[in-house]
DNA sequence: GATAAATCTTAATCATGATTAAGTGATCCT
DNA sequence: AGGATCACTTAATCATGATTAAGATTTATC
């Protein structure tokens, strides 16, 4: 029984110990080595992953062959490719461990059974999706309104600990900038 | 009883006629005149709106004083400001009717009562949020990968009818471009 | 129908940040 | 330890698309 996940659940829904156990019974604890993949292009994503240790990057390969990072996944966050998971279509995405990592796997099949057994889980993921969507919209607003320099500085300010954990060139990719440009920002 | 909304509900969940009626009873049918606002900056958003006629723009005023459009809302779509609605905080956004319009208003209070009376509505909005989030992610990918010209052409191709309905300068704002640049694209 | 307001166009100049290229340190691997 | 890959830096050049400014055209209003 994962204490962080329990706390996380209870942030959003009222849930008894028994119900938490039912939820956690649907999860498989797994480990993965640095640089290995949770998902690769062409595979259909069939699960959501709750990260308990390490961090992941979620990226695709664009038309010029560059790896474009769309998200980082860190401890106590869910990571998955919703486009592939929800529509059961082959993914265009990669999800890769950036450190040796641990996570809880919630397969879509197990989740659908849970929705029936425990309808409040439906509520939980409804709320999670609302939060996730709001964050996505916030990011779009930043992309519209901020200069490259401001994007970088806003990220560093909001995620100071994480910024040191990630190679600069991956941060650049996530922000839609080049490593050279980040270098230029920092030198001033 | 709105036939479009019923069809829309049944795209996502199994729901009886009686239950549809219960859902529709929570909705208020309203009209609004062109250029009037569903939401203004500083007000807290307290409802979701299902558009049945006309279209809306959802925008904020950026630091330079420009209106930045984040979304258009068209017939048979929901529109609301999730950031304000979910966190019950004053909105930074405006939602404005671009034509004389009709919509169904679902207040957050009514929705929360519905979640309890009719838990499958929780499921419905969980699914809607997943779809909405996937669209938001797709948009971020476009913003990363496409040139201004490609952004414009992709939008026109995906929304040919709508592109004629919207002034060019608003489309420019939505795409993060200037009207002058759109003009340049079209002249070639 | 006349006037005003809103929208679109053209063209010159400018700025942000990409691209290219080279070089410098780190870190990993045997 | 030595070589190789990986990560970061610097600097010159380039391109996309913004800004500015003016004019043209369309639409709304009385």
CATH topology (fold) of A3-117 = Jelly Rolls (2.60.120)
Name the average pLDDT for chain B. 94
Name the average pLDDT for chain A. 94
**Is residue A120 within 8 Å of residue A127, measured between CB atoms?**
no
Query: Where do the structural domains in chain A lie, given as residue ranges?
Result: 3-117
Distance CA A100, CA A77 (A): 16
**Is residue B94 within 8 Å of residue B39, measured between CB atoms?**
yes
CATH class of B3-118: mainly beta
Task: Encode pLDDT of A136-180 as tens digits.
Answer: 999 999 999 999 999 999 999 999 988 889 999 999 999 999 999
Q: Which of A68, A139, A140 is nearest to B176 (CA)?
A: A140
B126 touching A (Cβ < 8 Å): yes
Q: How far apart, in Å, are the Cα atoms of A107 and each of A48, A111, A143, B143? A: 6, 6, 33, 31
- A183 Cβ contacts chain D strand, under 7 Å: yes
pLDDT, position A81: 98
**Is residue A121 within 8 Å of residue A111, measured between CB atoms?**
yes
Instruction: Determine the Cα angle at B59 with ends B55 and B63, to 5°.
Output: 165
- Tell me the nearest-neighbour CA distance from B188 into chain A, angstroms: 24
Average pLDDT of span B114-140: 96
The nucleotide whose C1' lies nearest the CA of B170 is C7
Q: What are the φ and ψ backbone dihedral angles of A58, each rounded to 5 degrees?
A: -120, 110
Average pLDDT of span B83-88: 97
Which residue in A125, A131, A138 is closest to B126 by CB distance? A125
Residue from B66, B136, B138, B174 whose CB has the most chain A CBs within 10 Å, to mutate? B136
Examine the pLDDT at A1 and tell me if it is beyond 80: no
pLDDT, position A82: 98
Q: Note the CA–C1' distance, B58 to C14, in angstroms.
A: 31
Q: What are the φ and ψ backbone dihedral angles of A112, each rounded to 5 degrees?
A: -65, -35
B116 touching A (Cβ < 8 Å): no
Task: Encode pLDDT of B39-64 as tens digits.
Answer: 999 999 999 999 999 999 999 999 88
Task: Encode pLDDT of A49-90 as tens digits.
Answer: 999 999 999 999 988 888 999 999 999 999 999 999 999 999
Examine the pLDDT at B1 and tell me if it is beyond 80: no
């Amino acid at each position: 029984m994962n204490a962080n996940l329990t706390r996380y659940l209870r942030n959003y829904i009222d849930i008894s110990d028994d119900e938490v156990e039912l939820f956690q019974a649907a999860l498989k604890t797994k480990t993965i080595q640095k640089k290995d993949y949770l998902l690769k292009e062409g595979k259909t994503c069939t699960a959501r992953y709750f990260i308990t240790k390490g961090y992941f990057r979620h990226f695709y390969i664009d038309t010029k062959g560059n790896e474009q990072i769309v998200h980082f996944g860190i401890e106590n966050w869910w990571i998955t490719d919703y486009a592939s998971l929800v529509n059961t279509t082959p993914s265009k995405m990669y999800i890769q461990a950036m450190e040796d990592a641990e996570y809880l796997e919630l397969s879509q099949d197990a989740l659908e059974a849970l929705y029936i057994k425990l309808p409040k889980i439906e509520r939980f993921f409804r709320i999670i999706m609302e939060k996730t969507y709001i964050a996505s919209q916030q990011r779009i607003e930043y992309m519209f309104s901020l200069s490259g320099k401001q994007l970088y500085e806003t990220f560093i300010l909001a995620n100071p600990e994480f910024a040191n954990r990630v190679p600069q060139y991956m941060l650049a990719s996530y922000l839609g900038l080049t490593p050279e440009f980040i270098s230029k920002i920092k030198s001033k």
